[in-house]
Structure 1
Amino acid sequence: MGYLPQQSLENLHKYSYKGVDKSLVSRYVLNPFWNWFVTLWPLWVAPNTITFTGLSIVLFNFATMLYYDPLYLTEKEGFSNPPQWIYYTWAAGLFLYQSLDAIDGKQARRTGMAGPLGEMFDHGCDALNTTLEVILASRALGLGRSWWTVASQIATLANFYLTTWEEYHTGQLFLGHFSGPVEGILLIIIIFLVSGYAGPAFWDQKFWTILHLDQMPIISKLPNLPLNESFMVFGALGLILNISNSYYNVRVTMHKQRKSHLKPLLYLLPFVFTALLQVAWLSHPKYNNSWILESAAFVPFLCAWGLQFAHQVGRMILAHVTKGDFPAWDWVWIWSVLGAVDANLPLIGIAPIIQRSNKHTTVFVWITFAVSFLAYARFVTLVIRDITNFLGIACFTVRKKDAKGEWQDARPNVKRA
């Protein structure tokens, strides 16, 4: 018996990709480049190979951060000072990721490999990239271990969740005039470039001061936030706009289908629950110097959170392509529930049972990361196995039927039964 029930597999035949991209930057600037870039790839290269190559580049960027800033992951306090040129490599890597993420669909159409597996794989890599870029961008902005980084994680994941939630209910992927995959990534690339030229300390300058407006009577009464914190406020405003647009699109779809537009709102609660859960774990009372936000456990904590999120939205996308029920609960959250409850036991006068010290907390966070990683790896493996077996395709190989109806590898001089 496979991971997916037979009815879900049968519904894969009903899948058809629908997408809307209203970005002017994408249409007039990037898309002509993408149309040329995809022609450089041989037709025997599978779309998922291109997608995974992009994610691998981001993982390499993340590895360079840990290499040049080991204190971020190994010490409770303090940071290393990575060379400024490293930020240029992050900018180049992210641009390559965006480009590869944009052309995998084009390659799928060129090779006749467009289908539900491609959307699952593409969105899965995007979900992982989301947390990795939050960590990298926060480091480039000089935010480090702070609530601003946590806020950035929540806002970024919320945008991704909203897009997936909207696609589930409307049946199409909608990217507005300002979207995360296009303008959002370009903004992060600009951050990396500025940090490479001026250093992360540049972002500590006050917003109104650097514009020479801080002496104006009206402006002087407004908060003069640092540039990095101002960027977070700008992101919050963008999130509010995206929430409004997503809800509007879902509301219109529900009206056309003569369904309640209130029920879909209930499916936003799972994300709210998980965000509050992680915040509760982070904001627990200090006990024996056990404080994740100020410790070396912060990076693995964010990574565990990101993996749990990827598992959550992966199941949402799977429900979309198989016409299944919306997954309102995910068992992988149980481990974080345990961590949050245990850490907050001092609020009722009980010492934490597991997280009795900073060392115990760090170990528990790493275990949570390992469990989250294994859970997501299992999900990805089982889903890919079931879909490829049912549809008779391969994940990383372009396979087509020959004149005899037999599957053939598209690479030159390679055949498979």
Structure 2
Amino acid sequence: MSTTRRTFLARCASGIAATTVAYQTGTTIAAKNDRPVFGLIGAGWQPETKRQGRGIAIGTQAASLADIPVICELDSVAADYANQKICGGNATIVDDYRRVLDSPSIEAVLIATPDHWHAKIAIEAMRAGKDVYCEKPVAVTIQEGQWLRKVARETGRVFQVGTQQRSEYDQRFLKAIAMVRDGRVGNLRRIHIGLGPGWKGGPFATAAPPTTLQWERWLGPAPLTEYIPQRTHRTFRWWFEYAGGQLCDWGAHHVDIAQWAIGQENGGPVSVGGTATMNQPLRGGMPTRSDMYNTPIEFSVTCNFPGGIEMLIDSTRNGITFEGDRGRFFVNRGTLEGIPVDALKDQPLDDDAMTKLYRGRQPTSHMQNFVDCLKTRDVPISDIATHHRVLTTCHLANLALRLGRTVQWDAESERVVSDEEANGLMSREYRSGYEIDSV
């Protein structure tokens, strides 16, 4: 590191540290030594639609439990809004996440950038000695998930993934898992996961980037391209360059619950295949146009798991249906319904059914679980190892649709069987200057 850069970072770190004192965050005031110190990386805010990004949501949750003296954001409008909304205007605003990682006062980071930045920032954060809470999906390729799991093991950092269905929504998802494992539908045969359709869009016109957004740095590891407004904010999800469409957005939540229920949270499917309506023609699994969304719109994917369990993932009503030889029930964020659910009134689950799933602890909020694990150094409820396995299923679904054929998966070696073209889509090239150091 050059003297100039070292001096610059030292000044930045001292500036952040100077703000790490007792101050108002939301409605809570607490002393520094009573609370952990977090840095928020990525906020998100669209004033024209009044839509908040996930960084605002998790930052607000964290502010009741931790101090947040610094916010990193490449959109100055979003940065200012997040500072006022979460920190009462008291945080330091920076536009380079490395300033957060280089600060010795920051103990953990909250990562809520677009998905294509997740792995790079999280890996560098863990190597800088920071614990990590990262929004899902944590990776845009299977290889990135492997790297994250590897670095988390090497560094021993606490890594919580933002799959809040493992903790929240009145614990109805935990109850659903407990019901399946308790045999309330008999022998499980089929799981139907509805995610709703992806978005259709394009062709879009290019434009000059707004002066409030650092477009080149927003692209980061992704290919350099002209600015199109629909590539940013919430619609980044419909471009493979930055995300994985509905299959990696909602799929990261619902496939997670389904694989946990069948005991495959550390395993995976044996085959994945299906059909989809795409936004544009693909060649070799890659987009052929730069002015249209390129992720699936309507889709139907069948994943076959060990034990003869079939998982159907499609673009119908959002939620999960568990089907066995003695009944079926449905769960989503708003309801848990079906005859086996009604039967719980007279035949309730064991009192400890939920705590057994929650690693022997009483279920709490997702952010509280993260903060608790910072103190105990326990594995959090949404750990990176199991999330990687779940997200692999989602990536394989996209991969099969992009190539237009069924793929056979070896979960032990984590390779597609006898299909090097498919294996080639498990990784990607990074733009010069934004590579990920996975070693």
* TM-score band, normalised by shorter chain: under 0.3
- The TM-score with structure 2 as length reference comes to 0.25
Structure possessing the higher relative contact order (Cα contacts under 8 Å, 6 or more residues apart): 1
Flag the structure with higher helix content: 1
- The TM-score with structure 1 as length reference comes to 0.26
Larger radius of gyration: 1
Flag the structure with higher strand content: 2
